[in-house]
Amino acid sequence: MTTNHEAFARARAAIPGGVNSPVRAYGSVGGDPRFLAGARGAYVTDVAGREYVDLVCSWGPALLGHAQPDVVAAVQEAAARGLSFGAPTVGEVELAEEIRRRVPLAERVRLVSTGTEATMTAIRLARGVTGRDLVVKFSGCYHGHGDALLADAGSGVATLALPGSAGVTEATAAETIVVPYGDLSAVEDAFTRYGSQIAAVITEAAPANMGVVRPPEGFNQGLRRVTAEHGALLILDEVLTGFRVGPSGWWGLESGLDPAGDDYYAPDLFTFGKVVGGGMPVAALAGSAEVMDQLAPLGPVYQAGTLSGNPVAVAAGLATLRLADDAVYAHVDAAAARLSAAVHRALDDAGVPHVVQHAGSLFSVFFGELAARFSVTTYAQAKTQDAFRYTAFFHAMLDAGVNLPPSVFEAWFLSAAHDDVALGRIEAALPAAARAAAEA
C-alpha cells in the first residue's frame, strides 16, 4: 500500500502539479491531495485504505451516490457491446429524449463530452446565429476553460486567484464583457453601449463556482428580457445545477415548465454536464430546433467529436436520469437542509462569523463578519471572505474522515446515498472543525 504523500510525489514527476484538473491539487488548503482508489455510495476510499464520507460527489455527477449498482450494470452491459462506434446509437436518442422530457425547451440536444465543450459550442452557435462577436459573462461564474469564458472566472480560477489565463489572446479577451453578478443595470449598460455587437449573455443558472450565490429574484428573467430586446441569445449554463437541484434543473425550480406561469422564462440555449453523464464524460448543449439546427451537418456552425455520445458514457447518463426520480430529489433536498443547518449551528456555537448560502440542494459556507452581516451576492464579496478559516475547517473535517471540496469557492454536494449514518458521521465531526476554524 502506498501513502497519499508518496502518490502525490510520484504524480508530480509525471503530471503537471500531480493532477489533471487544478482544484484537485489542494492549492488553497495545502497538504497532500487524497488519491482515491474507490468510491461507493456516500463514501470514498484513498490509496492508503482510509474511508471518508464524501461531500464532493465527483463535483456533482454522483447524484445517486457513487457506483450505484444499476448504473454500474448499465455501463457494464454497454461496454460488453462495444466501447465506441463513431456512429449514431439509439441510446443517444433516448438520452436526448429524456433531457427534452425534463426540459421541454430542449427541442434538440447535441451530446458532447465535457461542460467546457458545451459552453464553447453554445458561444460559437450564438455567434453564428447572430453574426455578432461579443459575449457577456458574470464575474465569478465559471463555464469551463474555453478561451472566451475564462475572464474573471470562478472555480479553480478563483481558488488560484487568477485574473484569467495566460495563453488567451488579447483579441479573444476583448470579445468578452465581464459584468458583476446580479447587476441587471450593468447588463443593460453593456447593451446600451454594445448592444448591436453582443451575441449572447451566458450565466450560471445559479452560481456555484464562487461559493453558492442564489440568483436575485427575477434576475434570470431580466436577462431574458434584455437579451430579447437586443436580439442576443440567453445561454443558461446548467452544467452544475442541471438535473441536480431538481428534475428540470435550476430552470425548472425557478421558472416552472408552464409557459403561462408568472415566473416563466425561456432561455435560447442550455448547457448540461455532470449529472447528465452519471459520472462518465457526457455533457450537452440544447435549445430550440431553430437555433440548434444551425449546427453541422444541417447548418453552418461546425462542432464535432470522436467520442461524442459515447455509448458507454451515454448508458451511465441514461441510467442515472431514469433513476433520478422525485424521491431522489426529495432525499437530497432533505439531506442538504439537515447538513447545512448542522454546519451553521456548529459554526455559531464556536463563534465563527459565517453565512451558509443555498440554491436548492447546493450550499456552501462563506466565512467572515462581512459575509455574515450582508451575505454574499458578488464575486468581489466572495473574494474578501476569511478563506483561512475554511482551510482549518477543511483539514479538521478531513482528519475526522469527511471529504469536503478543497476550496471555499466550491459547492458541497450530497447524494441519494447520504443516509442517516453518513450524515451522522459528518455531524459528529463538525464541532471540532468549527473550533479549528475559530482558532485559525
| Residues known to be catalytic | 142, 237, 274
Nearest by Cα to 226 from 188, 179, 270, 269: 188
Assigned C-alpha cell, 311: 455509448
Nearest by Cα to 53 from 329, 420, 328: 420
Query: 111 vs 436, which CB is nearer to ligand PMP?
Result: 111
* Residue 300, strand partner residues: none
Query: 42 vs 56, which CB is nearer to ligand PMP?
Result: 56
Which phi-psi region, left, alpha or beta, contains residue 231 (left: φ > 0; alpha: ψ -120 to 50)?
Answer: left
Query: 154 vs 353, which CB is nearer to ligand PMP?
Result: 154
In the complex, the smallest distance separating the C-beta of residue 209 from ligand PMP, rounded to whole angstroms, is 5
- Phi and psi (nearest 5°) for 406? -80, 40
What is the DSSP secondary-structure string of 80-135?
A: HH-S--SS--HHHHHHHHHHHHH-TT-SEEEEESSHHHHHHHHHHHHHHHH---EE
Q: Rounded to whole angstroms, how far apart are CA atoms 432 and 350? A: 9
Q: Rounded to whole angstroms, how far apart are CA atoms 76 and 154? A: 35
Q: Rounded to whole angstroms, how far apart are CA atoms 141 and 398? A: 27
CB count within 10 Å of CB 376 equals: 26
Assigned C-alpha cell, 231: 436580439
Query: 33 vs 273, which CB is nearer to ligand PMP?
Result: 273
CB count within 10 Å of CB 172 equals: 15
Q: Rounded to whole angstroms, how far apart are CA atoms 286 and 111? A: 9
Tell me which residue has its CB nearest to ligand PMP. 115
Query: 138 vs 353, which CB is nearer to ligand PMP?
Result: 138
Query: 273 vs 353, which CB is nearer to ligand PMP?
Result: 273
Which residues lie near ligand PMP (CB under 6 A)? 59, 114-116, 119, 142-144, 155, 204, 209, 237, 239-240, 273, 283
Q: What share of the chain is helix, strand, coil (3-state, %, to 5)?
A: 45, 15, 40
